[in-house]
Homo-oligomer: A and B are copies of this chain.
Amino acid sequence: MQSDALSATFSALADPTRRAMLARLAEGEATVNELAEPFEMTLPAISKHLKVLEKAGLVSRGKNAQFRPCRLEAGPLKDIAGWVETYRRYWDESFDRLDSYLEELQKEQPR
């Protein structure tokens, strides 16, 4: 088990099923069965994928009777965005302009 958060997040995202589950959760909360519905997998498999997402902090779960509604938690995605952003200059020539735009944004909304 990789212990650093960034690795856990990248690892959780390295699976199309899990990314599809996040995409579904982006539209709103869903129960485990609702999340499982589009896939040809058994429920225990879905349960395991959910656990991976949960450990990476990408999903949180509530409790409603026998249901365990899942919510998207985007914090770790922000970290991914931050990490990848440091490489933007290597694929995008207009990096400098966006960079300074983001700096502007920062100044406008101080903490």
**A interface residues, Cβ below 8 angstroms from B:** 2, 4, 6-8, 10-11, 13-16, 19, 22, 26, 72, 74-75, 77-78, 80-81, 83-88, 90-92, 94, 97-98, 101, 105, 109
Contact = CB atoms under 8 A, between A and B. Distances in A.
Contacts of A94: 105, 109
State the majority secondary structure of interface residues on A.
helix
Copies of this chain, tallied across the complex: 2
A94 B13 CA distance: 24
A77 B86 CA distance: 10
Contact of A84 (B6, B81, B87): B81
Contacts of A85: 81
Given A74-B87, A81-B81, A81-B84, A10 B14 contact: yes
